[in-house]
Amino acid sequence: MRSRQWMVRLISLCAVMPLALTACGGPSVPLGEVGNVEGSLGGASSDEPRATLVAEDILSSGGTAADAATALYFTLAVTYPVAASLGGGGECIVYDNETNKLENLQFFNKAPAAGGAIAIPGNMRGMAALQARYGRLPWSSLLTPAEQIANFGEPLSRAQHMAMVLNEDQLFLDYNLQSIFKDKQGEFVAEGTKIRQVRLASLLSTLRSEGGAVFYSGTWARTFIEDATNAGGKITVSDMINYKPVWQEASSFRVDNNMVGVSTTASGDLYRKLWSALYDGKGILGVDVAIPQAEIAAATASVFSETSNISPFISHGATSFVTTDNQGNAVACVVGLGFPFGSGQMGEITGMVMAGNLPPEQREFLTSPMLVVNIPNKDFYYASAATGGAAGTVASVTTALNVFAKGNNLDPAMDAPRLFTMGQNLPLLYESSMEAETINSLSGDFPVMVEVDRLASVNAIYCRNGKVPNCISRHDPRGYGLSLIEN
């Protein structure tokens, strides 16, 4: 009798105390609130610390990798506008464990039908498409952090500050940008300076409440067209309404039992060619199979000498990020404005930095994001996304091969010295950390060699044996971002 009474009391306790759900077999924190997920969260890495922290909160709240990537991106649009403004475009490689597919979501900037100086934005519609297909949390909750940061202000990060300072000589910024990022003496404001972007906050508020597609029609479309026209653009309402992101199967190639998914564009083709030239039959799970720098240099020269419309310059006009969740879903993205701060003009009404309508040879090359997945077993192994012009492709490929072919952990794989060249008879750039013996061995084939401090920046997540509890994430030490993995 007593046991039955205690059972009744226990059932009543579970019914009237939702905060004690853990004792009754469920999570103690509701979906959508930080702390909902117990144990392995997944991970995130990006070029700007605040954005990574927001992504971690989304994962802790029960969000998917797509939710985390969406919140991360919109935060970047506020905290790292030099590359991630709402006016930019890009692409993502996406793996969904349930559908067991590698997909390529493309939302690049497009040229208006009439041309002009300003490109049609893609980021807003692209990230909305990603979250609509693979998100779990309410859309509004993902944009709230970015809106609050823009409205109330946030200390300027070292990442944004250094991106401005390092490109100071080549930047032209209009009055609106200068009023936010320069002081009265005309110098870029110091790291840690509180930055508010009230007009951008107003746009983010609308996107949060009405969805990402609202920008491409109605009042906001006409508002952006007015801003773009004042900056020399020729965008029309039809251009905006007709803009659509594109979903397609990722370009994939097999490596042992795993599939590598990359972009279907020329950047993905370059990635595949370089990987194939360097892999050369080495087992993906091989241990200590080193790839000599001379071999990397020769393969790079061969692959990139075949291209004619890729700009080799390295700037901070693009940014990358990767996310994964505790279900083994993953997202890797690269977005950009083509040039640091894009056109150099900020909308008077929208508060967003607009991308210039530039031909490929004049804008920073976007490296393909990539994912490595074992499709039969539904095991996610690796995500990578890189920036740094054409050198980003070499950095991304060699980092991955240092993990898989050489059997390195992610830290030494990312720390390894890098090189880059556009052809056999063109200068070879190499990092100052490269050993003298290696430099001397390269000088015979590359008579013009240039030492540089750093080449490209990589964000990556590696899950040993394809298991989420074994995942680690890393942001490149050459940058000023942040990576987090929670197990």
pLDDT band at 10 (very low <50, low <70, confident <90, very high): very low
Q: What span, in angstroms and rounded, lies between the C-alpha atoms of 291 and 355?
A: 39
Q: What are 366-380's pLDDT values in tens digits?
A: 999 999 999 999 999
Per-residue pLDDT tens over the stretch 336-360: 999 999 999 999 999 999 999 998 8
Residue 314 confidence (pLDDT): 74
Pairing mode, if any, of strands 428-431 and 449-452?
parallel
Give the E-state strand segments of 29-156 in sequence order: 42-46, 89-96, 101-107, 154-155
- d(Cα 96, Cα 108) in Å, to the nearest integer? 22
Full-model pTM: 0.92
Residues 428-452 have a mean pLDDT of 94
**For 118-155, how does the pLDDT look when each residue is reduced to its tens digit (9 = 90+)?**
999 999 999 999 999 999 999 999 999 999 999 999 99
Residues 26-44 have a mean pLDDT of 81
Structure tokens at 115: 């041309």
Cβ pair 263, 384 in contact under 8 A: no
Strands across the sheet with 379-387, in order? 251-255, 258-262, 370-374, 379-387, 457-463, 471-475
Q: pLDDT tens digits, residue range 318-339?
A: 999 999 999 999 999 999 999 9
Contact yes or no for 300/420 (Cβ under 8 A): yes
Which band of pLDDT confidence, cut at 50, 70 and 90, is reported for residue 224? very high
CATH architecture assigned to 43-477: 4-Layer Sandwich (3.60)
Judge residue 153's burial from the number of C-beta atoms within 10 Å of its C-beta, 0-12 exposed, 13-18 middle, 19 or more buried. Answer: middle
Instruction: Locate 304 and state its tokens.
Output: 């990139």
Question: Where do the structural domains in the chain lie, given as residue ranges?
Answer: 43-477
What are the residues whose beta carbons fall under 8 Å from the beta carbon of 275, sequence distance 6 or more? Answer: 253, 255, 260, 397, 400, 401
Q: Give the model's confidence band at 27: pLDDT under 50 very low, under 70 low, under 90 confident, else very high.
A: low
The answer on pLDDT for 26 being more than 60 is: no
Alpha carbon distance 334, 268 (integer Å): 12
Contact 352, 86 (CB under 8 A): yes
The sign of the dihedral angle between the CA atoms of 135, 137, 143, 146 is negative
Asked if pLDDT for residue 8 goes beyond 60, the answer is no
Rg (CA), the chain: 23
Mean pLDDT of 210-215: 94
27: β partners: none
At residue 9, the pLDDT reads: 40
Helices vs strands, H then E, count in the chain: 16, 18
Reference 85, options 70, 74, 94, 101; nearest CA is 74
Ranges 80-89, 92-101, 287-296, 456-465: which has the least confidence: 287-296
Res 55: pLDDT? 97
Helices in 211-349 by DSSP H: which ranges? 218-230, 237-242, 266-279, 293-304
Mean pLDDT of 478-484: 92
Please name the helix (run of DSSP H) or strand (run of DSSP E) that holds residue 461, with its range, or none.
Answer: strand 457-463
Tens digit of pLDDT for each residue in 235-253? 999 999 999 999 999 999 9
Q: Buried b / exposed e across 238-273, counting CB within 10 Å, b at 16+?
A: ebbeebebeeeebbbeebeebbbbbbbbebbbbbbb
- Using alpha carbons, select from 200, 266, 214, 208 the residue that is nearest to residue 243: 214
Note the pLDDT of residue 287.
52
Considering only residues 9 and 323, tell me which one the structure prediction assigns the higher pLDDT: 323
